[in-house]
Amino acid sequence: MAILEVKNLKAYYITHKYGRSSTVRAVDGVSFEVNKNEIYGIAGESGCGKSTLLKAVSGLVKPPLQILDGEVSYNFSDESLNILSLNDDRQRRRLRGVRISLIPQGSMSVLNPVRRIRKSFEDVVYAHLDVSESEFEEMVRDHLQALGLDWTVMHTYPHQLSGGMRQRITIALSTILRPDIIFADEPTTALDVVVQRGVVQLIKKIKEEQQNTLILVTHDMSIHANLCDRLAVMYAGEIVEEGDVQTLFSNPKHPYTSMLLNSLPRVGDSSPRASAPGAPPSLVDPPPGCRFHPRCPFAMERCRKEAPLLRDVGNRHRVACFLQEGGQ
End-to-end CA distance of the chain: 34
- The pLDDT of residue 328 is above 70: no
For residues 81-108, give the mean pLDDT.
83
Q: Are 73 and 81 in contact (CB under 8 A)?
A: yes
Specify the pLDDT at position 326.
59
- Using DSSP bridges, classify how beta strands 318-319 and 311-312 pair: parallel, antiparallel or unpaired: antiparallel
- The pLDDT of residue 57 is above 60: yes
Please state, for a pLDDT cut of 70, what percent of the chain lies above it: 99
Specify the pLDDT at position 283.
94
Higher pLDDT among residues 274 and 55, named by residue: 55
Q: Residues 134-149: pLDDT tens digits?
A: 999 999 999 999 888 9
Lowest mean pLDDT among 48-52, 240-244, 313-317: 313-317
- The pLDDT of residue 23 is above 80: yes
Closest alpha carbon to 128 in 160, 157, 95: 95
Ranges of H-type helices in 240-283: 245-250, 255-262
Specify the pLDDT at position 293.
95
DSSP, collapsed to helix, strand or coil, labels residue 51 as helix
Closest alpha carbon to 202 in 157, 237, 171: 171
The pLDDT mean for the chain works out to 90
Concatenate the DSSP letters of all residues of 67-98 into one string: EEEEEEEEE-SS-EEEGGG---HHHHHHHBTT
pTM: 0.92
Specify the pLDDT at position 327.
44
For residues 88-114, give the mean pLDDT.
83
Q: Residues 246-275: pLDDT tens digits?
A: 999 999 999 999 999 988 777 777 777 777
- The pLDDT of residue 69 is above 90: yes
